[in-house]
């Protein structure tokens, strides 16, 4: 799980409020103006004596989730689907059950319910919200950089998918911010492994990890340190031109950081100055990504 006191904090509540206010998943008071619709043309299901109607079941579930009983509410929303499978209320309940599962940290169930909604209603107005639920369900499971980052990769892929599909949706800006943090997290994992190899004097292995940061996560907060560590590793291997190039790029882009100070001191200790080799992979890679 993401540390709630870190930059990876849950801040998506406002988007659920937006959904309840402006989308098809609306409050009970507003629902009285809508009728259940069976897409196959059958008549509206009529409850038996003593049974609740679809509207009443939905209202009951909505009242339950408003009390904070997310687990109970998830079951109640699913009951709407079971009893009135082709109704408007069933469609809304499907998405609300996904939200209820998310609220109770049952992230796999939230993802599955959201994917089921998208399979049945891919072009619905609330599809963006379903994609958002999938993305943040993965995002909430991001672990610290000392552990496997498979979930971080899933979260980033889902966030980028949402942004690509719905760039102007109510959820895209939050998704963009979360994607930045996810990339930073993945870069942090590479840095952690790279430092380990550097400490063990496994310089080639260390270079490959720092190279990954520069190639794949150049816009993250870890780029300055990655450049400095590349200088350090290349100096240890005696590849002076690459060490000078890393320091030169670092000095040009991040001149006021401690990482440039460290790289400059390191080069000076070997009688060298930062100097960029335009033919270096570092130079080509850095110039291929514009800020």
| pLDDT over 90 at 44, yes or no | no
pLDDT, tens only, 25-38 = 433 333 333 333 33
Domain span(s) for CATH 1.25.40.10 in the chain: 13-184
180, 98, 92, 69: CA torsion to nearest 10 = -120
| pLDDT over 60 at 213, yes or no | yes
| pLDDT over 70 at 267, yes or no | yes
Q: How far is CA 198 from CA 185, 190, 209, 232, in A?
A: 20, 12, 10, 9
224, 227, 233, 234: CA torsion to nearest 10 = -160
59, 126, 142, 107: CA torsion to nearest 10 = 40
pLDDT, tens only, 134-179 = 999 999 999 887 688 889 999 999 999 999 999 999 999 999 999 9
| pLDDT over 90 at 265, yes or no | yes
| pLDDT over 90 at 258, yes or no | yes
Longest dimension (CA), the chain: 92
Measured at the CA of 244, the angle between CA 223 and CA 185, to 5 degrees, comes to 10
pLDDT, tens only, 168-179 = 999 999 999 999
**Picking from 20-29, 184-193, 225-234, 236-245, which range would have the lowest pLDDT averaged per residue?**
20-29
| pLDDT over 60 at 39, yes or no | no
**Picking from 39-48, 141-150, 172-181, 277-286, which range would have the lowest pLDDT averaged per residue?**
39-48
pLDDT at 47: 53
The CATH number of domain 13-184, selected from 3.30.930.10, 3.30.300.30, 2.40.50.140, 1.25.40.10: 1.25.40.10
Measured at the CA of 182, the angle between CA 218 and CA 213, to 5 degrees, comes to 25
Mean pLDDT, rounded, for 208-217: 96
Query: Quick one: how many helices (H) and strands (E) in the chain?
Result: 14, 0
> Does residue 246 or residue 48 have the better pLDDT?
246
pLDDT at 257: 96
């Amino acid at each position: 799980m993401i540390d709630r006191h870190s930059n990876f904090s849950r801040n998506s509540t406002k988007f659920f409020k937006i959904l309840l206010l402006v989308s098809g998943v609306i409050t009970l008071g507003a629902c009285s103006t809508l009728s259940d619709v069976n897409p196959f043309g059958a008549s509206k299901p009529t409850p038996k004596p003593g049974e609740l109607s679809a509207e009443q079941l939905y209202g009951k579930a909505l009242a339950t989730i408003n009390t904070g009983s997310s687990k109970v509410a998830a079951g109640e929303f699913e009951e709407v689907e079971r009893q009135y499978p082709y109704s408007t209320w069933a469609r809304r309940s499907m998405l609300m059950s996904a939200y209820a599962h998310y609220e109770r940290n049952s992230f796999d169930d939230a993802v599955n319910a959201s994917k089921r909604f998208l399979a049945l209603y891919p072009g619905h107005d609330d599809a963006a919200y379903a994609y958002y639920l999938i993305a943040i369900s993965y995002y909430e499971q991001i672990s610290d950089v000392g552990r496997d980052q498979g979930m971080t990769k899933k979260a980033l892929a889902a966030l980028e998918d949402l942004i690509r599909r719905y760039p102007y949706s109510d959820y895209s800006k939050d998704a963009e911010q979360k994607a930045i943090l996810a990339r930073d997290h993945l870069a942090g994992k590479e840095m952690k492994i790279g430092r380990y190899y550097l400490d063990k004097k496994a310089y080639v292995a260390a270079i490959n990890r720092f190279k990954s940061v520069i190639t794949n996560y150049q816009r993250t907060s870890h780029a300055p340190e990655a450049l400095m560590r590349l200088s350090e590793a290349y100096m240890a291997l005696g590849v002076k031109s690459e060490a000078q190039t890393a320091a030169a790029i670092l000095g040009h882009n991040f001149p006021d950081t401690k990482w440039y100070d460290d790289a400059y001191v390191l080069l000076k200790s070997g009688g060298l100055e930062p100097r960029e080799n335009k033919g270096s992979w570092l130079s080509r890679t850095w110039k291929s990504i514009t800020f």
